Structure 1
Amino acid sequence: MLALTYAGYGDPSVLDVTTRPEPHAGPGQVRIAVRVAGVNPVDWKIRAGQMKEWITTRFPAIPGSDAAGVVDEVGEGVEGVKVGDEVFGSGADASAEFAVLDEFALKPASLSWEQAGGLAAVAETALRTLELLRPSAGQTLLIEGAAGGVGSAAAQFALADGVRVIGTASEQNHEFLRDLGVVPTVYGPGLKERVDALAPEGVDVVLDTAGLGSLKELIEIAESAESVVSIADFSAPEHGARLSVGITDPRAFHALEKAARLADEGKFTVPIDSEFALADAAKAHERSQGGHVRGKIVLKVA
């Protein structure tokens, strides 16, 4: 099969499309003919060697964990999915013609292949962090970096549960956030004063998806380090805040099912920042690495 690979750590130029053996579904897994694969920040961080202390990479490596496609193999013990079904989910080595998914759900008709292909990791991360913060209906959640994939997913999950959401983003993304139902503001110095004006009653919980070095101010806004969770600032525990990281999580299936249900109810969408062919994956990684991404970057495989 054709697959995006890299033979060693490096910048996006190490990526190349080569031929690799096809994977096969094991117990509890499905194999799909990939239509679209997602690109997440962790993909380029692994490729660049930034995660090698935590994640072992075997070369040649195939990046990516998110994909959507058509099932062509069903592993032992899998129920509710058959060959020919359209699904989305997460696994390993997803940027290829065929990929094995460990967590998956039926693709809702309301989402395009591009949207479904970029959904799994952001949905899992967003719901995982919200379940740590546990905002209740009527409370206020501040999301640092609300226009990105995880930030926009978390905002929509929270809004569906009746939570008020304030989100930081560059001004060019404010209309996008308003369309989601988020109250936008800019990030950077003076954030507390801006948030105080938008939420004089206070902010209950904070999710940091951006890692902009604003953790101390975010804790001040929440008035409690325990009310702040970051997925991007590894210094969070030093300040008493919580750090939540991970490629996969046992609750991923729960997140996929919830995102699919809300999508069919018209309460969840996946904004697409940009689309690239598999052969242009280096440009996709450059786009992700440059930051200021609005929504998801995806690779069109078939």
Structure 2
Amino acid sequence: MTRAAVATSYGGPEVIEIVDRDLPEPSDGEVLVEVRAIGVNPFDYKSYSGSFGTDATKLPIALGSEASGIVVAVGGAAVGSGGPIAVGDEVVVSGKNGTYADGILAPARFVFPKPAALDWNVAAGVLAVAGTAYDTLESVGVTSGDTVLVHGAAGGVGSVVAQLALDRGATVIGTARQQNHDALRAFGVEPVEYGDGLIDRVRAAAPHGVDAAIDTVGTDEAVDVSLELLTDRSRLVSTAAFDRASKDGFLTVGGPESMERRRLASPVLLEQAGAGVFEVTVAKTFPLADAGKAHAELQSSHPRGKFVLIP
């Protein structure tokens, strides 16, 4: 038996309820994980908001796609990216629906070794943002010597995009609110303010031009400025501006190819996080029972970093 948070109907955070669910013994190739922490992401509340439709046959909707915990049972030969999985292993689960629970049954392919240097809360929130960040960088081929404009560079995905781009040897210009500029400078990013005059501020910060742009906010401002600065729009990718991308002919991420690329990169990304190549900040933790409250706060002005649920 496990306690799980699910959306029982479509609407706002008030539709989330805590329910009891049976957990069968793991079949061959599956593992049972006792959850220590759960990552919260914007997709979690979008899944029941009506953004993707309101098909009643999909209710109740299991929430969440990432968590950290300890393996408590293994079915047959369960082999993950780090080799055979054993009872007692500290792991990260990513890409498996329904992680808002105190126990998760997951196929071994979604289970990755947790680096000892990462605490439970950070480990639970790493792969959704890092996988997306890696995906964007690969999509536009960021490499050493590039100057990269990152829109939303202080956000969950944007901050990891910036750090991984710097690790590749790129120069990074990052758009952010003034209050986040010092944090970006600490990473090595040149911050610029959103709003009127953005393109002039970017040109001043990158007098030799911009080679690639990564948009994590989806605003017309981000898209328009990027298109004007770039000579090759195939080097613009967005995680959010899907309508503009179909109209203006630049890249987006999030399809099946993206998901597989992120899964394959997950072991390396976890190693990099454990080694301090990039950091993911945990802004706030909530009890699992307060998942609705976490979603409400995540949709409003909130501290920089990830929200995490604790079973």
Structure number having the greater helix percentage: 2
What is residue 37 of structure 1 aligned with on the other side?
Answer: 38
Distance 1:24 1:38, change over 3 A: farther
What is residue 288 of structure 1 aligned with on the other side?
Answer: 298
Post-superposition shift, 1:188? 2.2
SS of corresponding position for 1:138: coil
Post-superposition shift, 1:191? 1.5
The one of 188, 197, 210 equivalent to 1:203 is 210
What is residue 190 of structure 1 aligned with on the other side?
Answer: 197
SS of corresponding position for 1:167: strand
What is residue 223 of structure 1 aligned with on the other side?
Answer: 231
What is residue 240 of structure 1 aligned with on the other side?
Answer: 249
Distance 1:48 1:26, change over 3 A: farther
What is residue 173 of structure 1 aligned with on the other side?
Answer: 180
Identical aligned pairs, as a percentage?
Answer: 41
Post-superposition shift, 1:252? 2.7
For residues 203 and 94 of structure 1, what CA distance do their matches in structure 2 show?
Answer: 39
Aligned 8 A contact 2:199 2:225 in 1: yes
Post-superposition shift, 1:89? 2.8
Compare CA radii of gyration and give the structure with the larger one.
Answer: 2
Letter in 1 for 2:289: A
Alignment of 1:9-158 (within 5 A): 9-22=10-23, 25-26=26-27, 28-52=29-53, 58-75=58-75, 76-78=77-79, 79-90=83-94, 91-101=96-106, 102-158=109-165
For residues 207 and 24 of structure 2, what CA distance do their matches in structure 1 show?
Answer: 54
TM-score between both structures, scaled by the size of structure 2: 0.89
The one of 258, 263, 286 equivalent to 2:273 is 263
SS of corresponding position for 1:142: strand
For residues 269 and 39 of structure 1, what CA distance do their matches in structure 2 show?
Answer: 17
Aligned 8 A contact 2:227 2:233 in 1: yes
SS of corresponding position for 2:23: coil
Letter in 1 for 2:12: D
Post-superposition shift, 1:30? 3.0
SS of corresponding position for 2:220: coil
Post-superposition shift, 1:246? 4.3
Post-superposition shift, 1:284? 1.0
SS of corresponding position for 2:241: coil
Letter in 2 for 1:280: D
For residues 70 and 168 of structure 1, what CA distance do their matches in structure 2 show?
Answer: 38
Q: What RMSD, in angstroms, separates the aligned Cα atoms of the two structures?
A: 2.1
Post-superposition shift, 1:269? 1.3
> How many residues matched?
300
Distance 1:83 1:130, change over 3 A: same
Range that drifts further, 175-184 or 100-109? 100-109
For residues 195 and 28 of structure 2, what CA distance do their matches in structure 1 show?
Answer: 48
Aligned 8 A contact 2:38 2:310 in 1: yes
Range that drifts further, 170-179 or 291-300? 291-300
For residues 132 and 161 of structure 2, what CA distance do their matches in structure 1 show?
Answer: 8
SS of corresponding position for 2:259: coil
Letter in 2 for 1:284: A
Letter in 1 for 2:152: G
